[in-house]
A = this chain, B = another copy of it.
Amino acid sequence: MANIVIIGLGLIGGSLARDLRRCGHRVTACGRDAGRLAPALKLGIVDAVEPDWQVAVAGADLVVLAVPVGRTREVYARIRPHLTADTPVTDVGSSKCSVVRDLTALCGRLPAQFVPGHPIAGTEHSGFAASVEGLFAGRTVVLTPTAETDPAAEARVAALWLEVGARVLTLSAEQHDAALALTSHLPQMLAYTLMGQFAEFGQGKTLAELAGSGFRDMTRLAGSDPAMWHDVSLANRAQLSLALRRYMERLGELAAAVDAGDSERLLALFTAAQAAHHRLPAA
């Protein structure tokens, strides 16, 4: 049994609280607005809500920052004076270079006890109301320790995620950000853009009747929180920009083949993509 403090009780923080408590840990929730955390206490999803972050963090065996990635620095600055020297801290942000950069700027170097993390889990829904038990079962959690990271802190954070059923994958922050730009941040931009084009087209009711399961899959992510994605797209700006540019090149090539009626090229593009899809292991 460990005392785990979760700061931010949205989809990820709330789901993690549910699982950790089920595993027998004592979970304390902190947040900007203690009133908003009250339902979690009432529902028995956390053991305590601590409005005084100093008190919460001082007694923690491990601290999880489950706040929007753009708020990581500000929240870490607030808890930093109250952390004991060996308390591991981790985060759940979707970009990792920005977190390393932000905390390095704040502290002079990345704190040895800070283990950057990112659970690849979630839905298009956000907030505590969307939190569920078992969200991380079978999912991948990426940790991006640096040479300065304390191996004991890393092991403690890894153990926490393993306990809730996740797989742990260790990458550099750069590897993580390049890969996630492609597998998560670019797809999110594509979904928003498609949904925007649909809205612009007009004929809403008729058009909606023509939107089959394919369209719905391709726009499900457009239901996601704009504020969160604003943060992520700017935090991982460099890699997202590269992924977007490459995508536009590829789509431009496809459009040119459509315009030219280039059967061979279209078949080659579609066939290669289908083959890649067949190689993708089942989730």
Contacts and interface: CB of A to CB of B under 8 A. Distances in A.
Contact of A234 (B254, B263, B281): B263
Contact of A187 (B218, B221, B244, B250): B218
Contact of A193 (B184, B229, B240, B247): B247
A159 interface: no
A42 interface: no
Contacts of A140: 209-210
Interface string A198-222: 1101011011111111111111111
Given A234-B263, A274-B226, A283 B194 contact: no
Given A193-B251, A251-B247, A255-B245, A198 B183 contact: yes
Contacts of A261: 234, 237
Contacts of A283: 211, 213, 216
Given A195-B273, A217-B217, A277-B219, A212 B182 contact: no
Interface residues on A, range: 35 or more
A210 B142 contact: yes
Nearest to A124: B214
A85 interface: no
Nearest to A199: B276
Contact of A196 (B121, B229, B276): B276
A242 to B, nearest CB: 10
Contact of A280 (B180, B206, B211, B245): B211
Given A190-B190, A212-B121, A201 B182 contact: yes
Interface in A95-116: none
A205 to B, nearest CB: 8
Contacts of A278: 223
Interface stretch (A18-26, A28-36, A51-59, A264-272): A264-272
- 9 pairs of A and B residues whose beta carbons are closest in the complex: A226-B270, A199-B276, A192-B273, A222-B277, A195-B273, A187-B218, A244-B255, A217-B217, A226-B271
7 contacts: A183-B207, A183-B215, A187-B215, A208-B280, A224-B274, A225-B274, A240-B258
